[in-house]
Structure 1
Amino acid sequence: MRLTCSRPPVMATLGQLVANSLWFAFDALDQQKTGVVPKSQLKVLTQNVGVLLKVDRRVENCIAEYLSSQHLTFEQYLYFLTHEVLSEVDDGSTSYVGLKEHHDSLDHTFWLLGRHNLLQRHYPVFSEDALFKLFRIFCLLGDRSSERKELSQVSLNVGEVREVTRNLVTSLGREWDMRDFNQLATVISHFTFPVFITFLEGRYIQDTELTALESAVDDVYDHFVQQVLKRGKVYQRAWWTPLWVKRELEVRPWALIAPCYKLNPKSAAISVVLGPTHVPLTPAATVHNIPDEPGARQCRFTLCLESNKLVQLAATDHRSKSEWLRALDAAIHHSQEALPYHAIQSATRKLEHAEEEARETAERIRRDSQADIIENTQAELMAEKMARAEAEAAAREEAAARQAEEKRVLELQTLRLQLETLLEEETQAKRDEEIVRNLQARVLREEWERREELEQLQEEQRKMLAEETKKRQEFERQQEEKDSQLREAEKMLRKLESERLRLDRDLRSAREKIVMSERGKELLEARMKVKERTPPVRTYSLRPVRKERGNIPKRSSSFNTQAARLFKFRTKNEENNENGSENSNGTVESN
């Protein structure tokens, strides 16, 4: 995909303004710290940027066609964002106010994405809101440098840290100590954002009230980001009457503003007398000092606008008057600049710092070169002296070395003979070792074969054990089935036995009833027979006839005979019943 090369200069400036804050968002997405981020994650970020800038088309779809890789470095993504997203902003928002609104919204979005890595500190002092304001100051004044080919880093140099720290300490009402700062900052040449926050919290804001700290951070934020060059009380003359009204004004590079207009409804009435609360500044505007005159208001100065309209002002004192004149002159001079005022000042300070470092480096090189010449001359003289002494010592050492060499030759010859003897012994030892190694190899092969046989035998035993285990399990299963059948048979036998006992009880009860009935029957028959055999007695007496006692023995004899017969019949029935019960038991047992 071919990117558009021609782009509005304002959008290029917006890309420069948000580049540092965009790096923090990019670094938050780069969790592995490899310097590249997948396009899928950058697509979501691009969509959010397009929504914030109110771009009509879906620019996030273009990132898939940008380059052929699935990952982008920060420089590649910044180039894509500048040419494909920032260039799509409407022409109506390309003014400086619109540029500032876009800058604020994008910085806030990138802060929300990368703040989870920036809020983590051991002993935090700044609140999250104060940290966000310092983050914007850091991104405005910071530089981007490459640590490696893929990785880049945003940092502040010592000069910018000194400027921010000085404003913060001054806003807290404390005295600025340049020597103390130089002692603390000598070991660090560039400050990353975590190091910058730790530096401020650890040295300059300890034991500070939270309200005072928030107010000081707001002042520094207004000074650097909101570009408030001067803010304070000033007297302004009404345009139609010689009436001086005290009001609060602030100077920014594009306008002279009364910030209390939105907060104080009475300012609406004041604006009728004094004029508008937002006076735009252009390069055609001028500021003039009015000398003090007797009987007139002191510390006066005028602001002449492009439409030849005069704004007459008066400061509270001469020091404040000088500050107002200097602030208005700087605002008029930078009213048409695309970059923020303090970004330009930062670039100027960095250039001066680089020139100063270059001068110091050149001076150090010049001093080092002169010192090197002197040192080289002294070194040459010392080298000649040492060379002469070394030559004399070398001659003496050569004579001693010759003698030592002859002695060394004799020692070497003796050593050669010893080495030859040792070589022969070592050769014989190697032969013996080779024989032993062959024997060990053969034993190892035999052991290996035996091991294979043992493993095969072990495998067969394992199979047999598995078969025996299966047979034992089958036998146990059959045994359990037979045990269950036996328990069922025993249960049935107990049931039949209980039934037999019940039937025996019923049979004995029936037998007893039969015997009793037979006995009763026999007794009845005997009585009937006795009655039949005994003739009726006739008497003519009116008294009942008494039975003679002599008949009793005969009755008793007949009764005894009937009882004996009944006993014999009972004995015979019992024998028949016992035989029947034995037959029934045999039948049950056979079943």
Structure 2
Amino acid sequence: MATLGQLVANSLWFAFDALDNQKTGVVPKSQLKVLTQNVGVLLKVERRVENCIAEYLSCTHLTFDQYLYFLTHEVLAEVDDGSTSYGELKPHHDTLDHTFWLLGRSTLLQRHYPVLSEDSVYQLFRIFCLLADRSITRNSLSQVTLKLVEVREITRHLVTNLGREWDVRDFHQLATVISSFTFPIFLTFLEGRYAQDAEAPALQRAVNEMYRNFVDQVLKHGKVYQRAWWAPIWVKRELEVKPWMLAATSNKTMSAVLGGAQLALSPAATVHNIPDEPGARTCRFTLCLESNKLVQLAATDHRSKSEWLRALDTAIHHSHDTLPYHAILSTSRKQEHAEEEARETAERIRRDSQADIIENTQAELEAEKMARAEAEAAAREEAAARQAEEKRVLELQTLRFQLETLLEEETQAKRDEEIVRNLQARVLREEWERREELERLQEEQRKMLEEETKKRQEFELQQEEKDNQLREAEKRLRKLESERLRLDHELRSAREKIIMSERGKELLEARMKVKERTPPSRTYSLRPVRRERGNIPMRSSSFNTHAARLFKFRSKTDEANDNSNGNSNGNVESN
């Protein structure tokens, strides 16, 4: 099987099981054709893979193993040739797992008392599919289950991330009674025992840390000091180590310091410890990449330095693995668990054989004692009869003592059972009270939300009404402003006309004063004077002509002044 097919097999089983409504172990090709088309679109496969499934085999229904074989060799082989590293396959792995989760989530989220959010359940689903194995049930159907050793590892990480102390004995007391951990049982086990009394934010952060550790393959993340390439200074950065790269939580940070968004790791890369020197920064170490690029780092303390060195060594060692790092660790844990079970089985067989040998030896010794007793009884019949009677009495006393002990133990067992029943009843009563309290709080929150919604609607209506009033006021203000400008223009025109009229009046008065100051003309005698034509005209006619012109000019000036005064007075009154 190709690596990508092996990675998505478990999540694909949940999607296949969601399509199998009758739980017969087979699904029609028509439904699988749509699923295959979606997978081809997600992987950007150019050829139409949905047509190939109609030609695959001659039946109308496919089992899960048949469909997985077809999907692996006809679709997933387009992006995975079996030797591709997991760093290149991870985007496809994440996309396909999310698609299969969306197809089967309706059945996986069904539970009576949900504690975890939907995002946390999806993250646990990814972890479950990464570490689970497929097994065959009693009715010859395949099923995805999680072994006890993997459940213990996931539970230990969850309890540790919640800041609690891990109790392995308490775990075994609860988990050993469960035969197989399917995903609903696994989810119920975590919610019922370890997530019941945890706060939602803390539980979300704990599951996120588990997701980053198991699925995102983050071996180490934290803050370190990094020597810049442009100057001999140390800058504090936040980095994370994955089996195929060293990356920063911010791409801009990595680009500014290292010249790239991330640093790819390969088996040719090496990490070196630098001893502390006087006058230099402590806790230094270097990372030498395949391209002979040297990255100088410094941890905050010696413990953190050891963790960074170990994480980088592990990442370099597993940089070209085709499977996720935690999947490889899971295989190792399962092998160790199988070897431990084999050793325990061999030890139990050895103890049973030794017990059989001891029992046979005891039986032979008992037979020899009985034969010797019979021989002695033949010689001493009376002594044997008396001893037999005493022995019978002793046995009856012993039997009586045993019966009394058993009766007392049974009485104690009944009392213990009654105590357990009372405890169970009290726990059940407390659970019901807690449920009623939660329902009451939910109802109060719903009512408060409705009241808040009504208040917000009223506030929006008031705000809209005020906005309308503001717009009307702005319109009126603009209208008044335009009217004011028009009136100001008319006022300025009237003032200019008044000024012009006053200037004309002053000019006329000045001319009149000039006329008054002019000396009167001389008077001549009326004696006849003989004048010839063509001579100078008479002075009297010239004066009369000048007086007529002056009277005419004054009349026009007075009329103009009266008109201007009338217009200005009208404009002022209108203003």
Tell me the TM-score normalized by structure 2.
Answer: 0.62
Q: For 2:220, which of 230, 247, 259 is the aligned residue?
A: 230
1:187 is matched with: 177
Change (3 A) 1:25 1:290: same
2:301 is matched with: 317
1:512 is matched with: none
Change (3 A) 1:293 1:378: same
- Aligned residue for 1:108, secondary structure, equals helix
What is the Cα deviation at residue 98 of structure 1? 3.9
2:211 is matched with: 221
Q: C-alpha deviations, 1:404-428, integer Å up to 9, x for none?
A: xxxxxxxxxxxxxxxxxxxxxxxxx
Contact 1:299-1:315 at 8 Å conserved across structures? yes
Contact 1:271-1:277 at 8 Å conserved across structures? yes
Change (3 A) 1:285 1:98: closer
1:113 aligns with 2:103: yes
Q: C-alpha deviations, 1:250-296, integer Å up to 9, x for none?
A: 000010000223xxxxx45x743444341110000011111122222
Q: C-alpha deviations, 1:16-69, integer Å up to 9, x for none?
A: 000000111111111222212222221221111111111222222222222232
Q: How does 1:1-400 map to 2 (within 5 A)?
A: 12-89=2-79, 96-148=86-138, 150-261=140-251, 267-268=252-253, 271-379=255-363
Distance 1:328 1:127 in 2: 34
Distance 1:65 1:385 in 2: 81
Contact 1:236-1:274 at 8 Å conserved across structures? no
Contact 2:226-2:235 at 8 Å conserved across structures? yes
Distance 2:47 2:363 in 1: 74
Identify unmatched segments of 5+ residues in structure 2: 374-575
What is the Cα deviation at residue 120 of structure 1? 0.5
What is the Cα deviation at residue 189 of structure 1? 4.6
Q: C-alpha deviations, 1:287-308, integer Å up to 9, x for none?
A: 1111122222111111111122
Q: C-alpha deviations, 1:316-342, integer Å up to 9, x for none?
A: 111111111110000000000000111
Distance 1:22 1:243 in 2: 50
Structure 1 counterpart of 2:132, which letter? G
Contact 1:168-1:216 at 8 Å conserved across structures? yes
What is the Cα deviation at residue 119 of structure 1? 0.4
Q: C-alpha deviations, 1:161-183, integer Å up to 9, x for none?
A: 11111112222222222222222
Contact 1:36-1:74 at 8 Å conserved across structures? yes
Change (3 A) 1:74 1:90: closer
Structure 2 counterpart of 1:342, which letter? H
Q: C-alpha deviations, 1:108-165, integer Å up to 9, x for none?
A: 1110111111100110011111100100000000011111463011111111111111
Contact 2:85-2:322 at 8 Å conserved across structures? no
Change (3 A) 1:243 1:186: same
What is the Cα deviation at residue 83 of structure 1? 1.0
What is the Cα deviation at residue 97 of structure 1? 4.1
Q: CA RMSD in A?
A: 2.5
Contact 2:86-2:324 at 8 Å conserved across structures? no
> Which one scores higher on RCO, CA 8 angstroms, separation ≥ 6?
2
Q: How does 1:364-513 map to 2 (within 5 A)?
A: 364-379=348-363
Contact 1:157-1:189 at 8 Å conserved across structures? no
Distance 1:380 1:24 in 2: 60
Distance 1:240 1:224 in 2: 36
Distance 2:185 2:371 in 1: 55
Change (3 A) 1:97 1:32: same
Structure 1 counterpart of 2:217, which letter? Q
Q: C-alpha deviations, 1:420-464, integer Å up to 9, x for none?
A: xxxxxxxxxxxxxxxxxxxxxxxxxxxxxxxxxxxxxxxxxxxxx
Q: C-alpha deviations, 1:321-377, integer Å up to 9, x for none?
A: 111111000000000000011111111111111111111111111111111222234
Contact 1:36-1:150 at 8 Å conserved across structures? no
- Aligned residue for 2:146, secondary structure, equals strand
Distance 1:81 1:376 in 2: 60
Distance 1:110 1:292 in 2: 51
Q: C-alpha deviations, 1:530-550, integer Å up to 9, x for none?
A: xxxxxxxxxxxxxxxxxxxxx
Contact 1:156-1:190 at 8 Å conserved across structures? yes
Structure 2 counterpart of 1:303, which letter? L
Contact 2:4-2:80 at 8 Å conserved across structures? no
Identify unmatched segments of 5+ residues in structure 1: 1-10, 262-266, 390-591
Q: C-alpha deviations, 1:209-231, integer Å up to 9, x for none?
A: 22221111111101000000001
Structure 2 counterpart of 1:101, which letter? P
Distance 1:154 1:90 in 2: 24
Change (3 A) 1:87 1:277: closer
Contact 2:160-2:166 at 8 Å conserved across structures? yes
Distance 2:348 2:117 in 1: 45
Distance 2:359 2:55 in 1: 63
- Aligned residue for 1:67, secondary structure, equals coil
Change (3 A) 1:67 1:274: closer
Structure 2 counterpart of 1:179, which letter? R
Change (3 A) 1:103 1:90: closer
Change (3 A) 1:87 1:274: closer
Distance 1:383 1:121 in 2: 63
Structure 2 counterpart of 1:326, which letter? R
What is the Cα deviation at residue 233 of structure 1? 0.6
Contact 2:45-2:78 at 8 Å conserved across structures? yes
Change (3 A) 1:121 1:241: same
Contact 1:39-1:63 at 8 Å conserved across structures? yes
2:453 is matched with: none
Distance 1:258 1:217 in 2: 22
- Aligned residue for 2:334, secondary structure, equals helix
Change (3 A) 1:372 1:226: same
Distance 1:358 1:247 in 2: 48
What is the Cα deviation at residue 242 of structure 1? 2.1
Change (3 A) 1:295 1:58: same
What is the Cα deviation at residue 382 of structure 1? 6.0
